Structure 1
Amino acid sequence: MQTIRIKAPSSDTGREPGDRPSRHEDALPLLAGMALAVGAVGAVLALTDIDSPLRGPFTLFFLLAAPGGAIAATLRGLEPWGRIVASISGAVAVNLLVAQAMLALHMWSVRGGVAAIAVIGSLIHLLVLVRRLRRRTPTRRTS
């Protein structure tokens, strides 16, 4: 007996249901978790004013990753490289706007800047989550 094979849709990964993911697919969640940990350590080091040689690089990573990750989450429809460029550019723009606003209001401080970036990144992530939840809830029509 001959079996008929149905062509997979273009959004399919090309793997069979029982296949094991590749090493690159396994490493992506691990890298995301490590990035989250490095960013959190950077924010804690900056907010608590702990002297450490890692404070500068980890805080810089947090200042770029927090708004960059939030902006990347909003741009799910873009190609991967376009999304990366747009999120990094957006992160730099958010950091510059926060710094400019704090300098104009004579309120500049490292702790305040890190806290403002954390709040802005969290708000963007929250808006993305709310938008996704609204799309998933079924709408009821009453006649």
Structure 2
Amino acid sequence: MQAIRVKTSSSDTAERSRKGPGRDLLPLLAGVATVVGGVGALLALADVDSPLRGPFTLFFLLAAPSTAIAAALRGLEPFGRVLASLAGAVTLDMLVAQGMLAVHRWSVPGGIVAVAALSSLILLSASVRRRRDRTTGRRTP
């Protein structure tokens, strides 16, 4: 029996080397970040005394709005997108805190819920805009 050999180009070899064990690392990190943020929000809402409550809640307060803002700013370069989304997250957190203090309704659970709601609205509007852009792109000849 004769062996059949297939010649591979150097680009095929380079592509295979890129498909190593680290190719699934980004979705894994995104999942871990989602779990950490969710646990932080739950710990703050349930008022659990845990040493992880502070760091995890702070992570949620920064990650939720910055992820939503980054989804809305998909046209920027990656570094500018990260910088703008982090600045927007801090701004959103400060505006929520200032608004709650102005109306004398400050509470930790209320702040967590307000930041989560505003982040969800930003993410929803970005998703709707992206879907609308895809739909109008197909109709044009």
Instruction: State TM-score, norm by structure 1.
Output: 0.81
Q: How many residue pairs align between the two structures?
A: 129
Aligned partner of 1:112 among 110, 115, 134: 110
Spell out, residue by residue over 1:30-82, the C-alpha distance to the aligned partner (whole angstroms, 9 max, x if none). 11110000000000001111111100000000000000000011111111111
Look up the equivalent residue of 1:129 and give its one-letter code: S
Residue aligned with 1:137, SS: helix
Spell out, residue by residue over 1:86-116, the C-alpha distance to the aligned partner (whole angstroms, 9 max, x if none). 1100000000000000000000000000000
Other-structure match for 1:100: 98
Other-structure match for 2:78: 80
Other-structure match for 1:71: 69
Cα shift at 1:135: 1.6
Unaligned runs of 5+ in 2: 1-10
Separation in 2 of the partners of 1:21 and 1:123?
36
How large is the RMSD of aligned CA atoms in angstroms? 2.3
Unaligned runs of 5+ in 1: 1-13
Q: Using the aligned pairs only, state the percent identity.
A: 61
Look up the equivalent residue of 1:86 and give its one-letter code: A
Other-structure match for 1:4: none
Residue 133 of structure 1 pairs with residue 131 of structure 2: yes
Separation in 1 of the partners of 2:48 and 2:33?
20
Closer, same or farther in 2 for the Cα pair 1:92/1:52, shift >3 Å? same
Separation in 2 of the partners of 1:15 and 1:103?
59
Other-structure match for 1:32: 30
Separation in 2 of the partners of 1:46 and 1:21?
40
Separation in 2 of the partners of 1:71 and 1:21?
30
Residue aligned with 1:120, SS: helix
Instruction: State TM-score, norm by structure 2.
Output: 0.82
Closer, same or farther in 2 for the Cα pair 1:132/1:15, shift >3 Å? farther
